[in-house]
Chain A
Amino acid sequence: SQTIHQWPATLVQPVGSPLSLECTVEGTSNPNLYWYRQAAGRGLQLLFYSVGIGQISSEVPQNLSASRPQDRQFILSSKKLLLSDSGFYLCAWDDGGDTQYFGPGTRLTVL
């Protein structure tokens, strides 16, 4: 069966510091991968999605970037965090069908 991992689970970072969040999927090949952000008490905002290695589409212009160095690995990065980057970051995957499955999330607090 397929599983999706995210790490770290929680992170506290100072403003201006770099960021790297990782997501990996097991048990499937060539998944579509997604990064979402959820601000406290709000809905989910799609940040990036990828249909294959090295293929990244950005939904919202911001100081974040994403990379997909391997088929089942998706990384979210920033060179300099802002206070507004705080939130719950969720990675998700699908196999080309409609249903997306979410990872456990990373709770990021920028101070």
Chain B
Amino acid sequence: GENVEQHPSTLSVQEGDSAVIKCTYSDSASNYFPWYKQELGKRPQLIIDIRSNVGEKKDQRIAVTLNKTAKHFSLHITETQPEDSAVYFCAPTGTASKLTFGTGTRLQVTL
């Protein structure tokens, strides 16, 4: 099965700074790479995703970059705001469209 690791497990940044979270995976057949955001007590929500034929995707303040050779992809958040505080999960998908969730990164944006 897929082994997924996220780093760091916790991240504290000041408002306005950038945050980067990295996800490494083991299954070379993975072809879909989403990031989910989960606020305290709420459901995970998809914030950005990328497919294996693309190296980078951007949506306003968030971006995802993919390195298929090295088997990792990263979430980039620029100009962080307090409402970005949450737990972020990567969930690379291989065969059978089954997501394998990383262990999560708790992002804290301080004023």
Q: Which A residues contact B (CB, under 8 angstroms)?
A: 32, 42-46, 49, 90, 94, 96-105, 107
Q: Which B residues contact A (CB, under 8 angstroms)?
A: 32, 34, 41-46, 49, 51, 89, 91, 93, 97-104
Known: A98-B32, A102-B43. A43 touches B97 (CB 8 A): no
Give the residue name and chain of the A residue nearest to B103 (CB): A43
Sample of 19 A–B contacts (CB below 8 Å): A32-B97, A42-B104, A43-B103, A43-B104, A44-B44, A44-B101, A45-B101, A46-B99, A49-B98, A94-B97, A97-B97, A98-B34, A98-B49, A99-B46, A100-B99, A102-B45, A104-B43, A105-B42, A107-B41
Q: In the complex, what distance in Å separates the CA atom of A49 from the CA atom of B34?
A: 19
Q: In the complex, what distance in Å separates the CA atom of A76 from the CA atom of B91?
A: 23
A107 — which chain B residues lie within 8 A by C-beta?
A: 41
Residue in B32, B46, B49, B98 with the greatest tally of chain A CB atoms within 10 Å: B98
